[in-house]
Structure 1
Amino acid sequence: DEIVRRLGHAVNTFADTPREALEEAESAFDEAAAQLAKALAEARQVLRAGWQDQDPEADSAEHRIALRQYRELTQRLLRT
């Protein structure tokens, strides 16, 4: 919500202070990107924990589920 507010403020103040508005928009973008990277790293950690210590030779349902989740997350990233 705070990032959206900051971005809206940048858009609304652009006519009066374009340079400052652009700096605020860039800062909002940087924070959103950092939050996304953190969320992705956490999702990866959870996924990896689910299969990392399992027998690598076992053809388990957990491996298939993890692979499906990696695929879905990657496809979502590529669509953005």
Structure 2
Amino acid sequence: MYKESNEVKRQLSRCSFLTVLETAWSTIKQKHHQLQGFVMIQMQKWKYTAAFANKEVVFFVIHITKLLRYYLVYAT
């Protein structure tokens, strides 16, 4: 009986962890898409960057910026 209740607790904790993970991932995706839209709009406003305002460049700019920020924070 003890093993059964322990297994049930383990399954419940696994299930709640997956629920939290799914919620977090959904929020991350939503915020990332909002950030892509913001960067796209800002790039279109400037005459020098307007020609480069497409999905691929925006994706690249966001990821390079994130990598640079993490490098500067954690490598120093």
What TM-score does the superposition give when structure 2 sets the normalisation length?
0.54
Supply the AA of the counterpart residue of 2:12.
E
What is the rounded CA distance, in whole Å, between the counterparts of 2:36 and 2:49 in structure 1? 21
Gaps of 5+ in 1: 1-13
Identical counterparts, % of pairs: 4
The alignment status of 1:50 with 2:46, answered yes or no, reads no
- Aligned positions, number: 56
Displaced runs of 4 or more, over 4 A: none
Shift of 1:51: 1.4
What is the rounded CA distance, in whole Å, between the counterparts of 1:48 and 1:31 in structure 2? 26
Q: Rg: which structure is higher?
A: 2
What is the rounded CA distance, in whole Å, between the counterparts of 1:51 and 1:59 in structure 2? 5
Higher helix share: 2
RMSD (CA atoms): 3.6
What TM-score does the superposition give when structure 1 sets the normalisation length?
0.52
The alignment status of 1:72 with 2:65, answered yes or no, reads yes
